[in-house]
Amino acid sequence: MSSQEVRFILSDTDTSMANALRRIMIAEVPTLAIDLVEFHENTTVLNDEYIAHRLGLIPLRYQSPDTHHHHHNMGSRNDIHGIFLPHDECVCYDRCPKCSVEFYLDVQYDVVNAMRDDNERGLPWNVTSCDLKSTNEYVTPAHFLNSEEQDASQDVGISIVKLGHGQHLKLKAIARLGIAKEHAKWSPVAVATYRFWPIIHINDEACMNLTLEQKQELVDTCPDRILELDDMSGKLLVSEHAWETCTFTEDVLQKQQDMKKRPEDEDFITIQHSTDRFIFCVESVGSMDAEDIVMSSLRVLKDRLNYLAQMVENLKDI
């Protein structure tokens, strides 16, 4: 587990649950994203819509003031649940701090150019997410996923547009809460996938008919290296990392068919996938920690089920 990626095993359940969780992570975990942009001045090379679209795709991160209470009654530190209201649920007339966050951006090339040292003067200025000034101290653009990405980058944040001589960009952007069902900019994940846990069984009796060379051949055939040969006993063993790597097993199964004396002989190795154990991999785009996305998706699922149960109860009363 790291802040931008989490891998975990979900077990004692079935595909429907794994699927539901995956789809909720992708499309129904609420996040903040820029939804309205008011342009006051734009003499850059990109038109208003284009810049607005790029602003919408910048991940926004909420960092709660009580970070040290992490995982207590308040929930996790950057889960937005209960902090902001969806725009349509808020009782305010147009917008208020409870349902929106305002950002201001005002960059003028000539002002920036005047502040640079001599050898930088005259070069275009890259307007990045660092130039967005937030009105809420706890909500900021996620410029980078982690420090390695920051060190490797040439910019100080996410590029929005480059300014040349005499150009000026001034705007106000309003971020709101939303889910990716409405627009992909609200999706907190870059990758959310799961694989079935592999069940690899080695038939020791059948393997006794194989020579050491043949066993070594079976080990070498598999690109995922799910098998290994025990030097002491000469037995085939399942590699301890097999469950992580086991994705492509056609080669081994094909090879064992070729090695059999008769096609109907018992298999040396059988590989099946488990129906109640799943290996999940979730990568964040930076707006939330990967772990919080998982916890948040469980909460969304629970709320959905409670809502469904309530509806069924109501039907009974009718």
CA 127, 103, 139, 54 dihedral sign is negative
The amino acid that residue 13 corresponds to is T
Check residues 67 and 164 and name the one with the higher pLDDT: 164
CB 146 within 8 A of CB 159: no
Q: Picking from 71-75, 245-249, 261-265, which range would have the lowest pLDDT averaged per residue?
A: 71-75
pLDDT tens digits, residue range 64-96?
Answer: 776 544 444 444 556 777 888 887 788 888 888
HSE-CB of 192 using CA atoms within 13 angstroms:
22
Sketch out the chain's domains with CATH numbers: 31-184 (2.170.120.12), 204-267 (3.30.70)
CB 102 within 8 A of CB 172: yes
C-beta neighbour count of 287 within 10 angstroms = 25
pLDDT of the residue at 280: 94
Q: Where does residue 138 rank: exposed (0-12), middle (13-18), buried (19+ CB within 10 A)?
A: middle
Chain centroid offset of residue 170 CA: 31
pLDDT tens digits, residue range 17-50?
Answer: 999 999 999 999 999 999 999 999 999 999 999 9
Share of the chain above pLDDT 90, in %: 52
E strand or H helix that includes residue 160 = strand 159-163
Sequence-separated (6 or more) residues with CB below 8 Å from residue 232: none
Average pLDDT of the chain is 87
Separation between Cα atoms, residue 1 and residue 20, nearest integer Å:
22
Phi, psi of 126 (to 5 degrees): -90, 115
E strand or H helix that includes residue 284 = strand 269-284
pLDDT of the residue at 77: 57
| Tokens describing residue 257 | 């068919």
Query: What is the reported pTM?
Result: 0.83
36-54 CB burial, b ≥16 within 10 A, e <16:
bbebeebebeeeeeebbeb
Q: What is the DSSP string of 224-255?
A: T--EEE-TTT--EEE-TTHHHH----HHHHHH
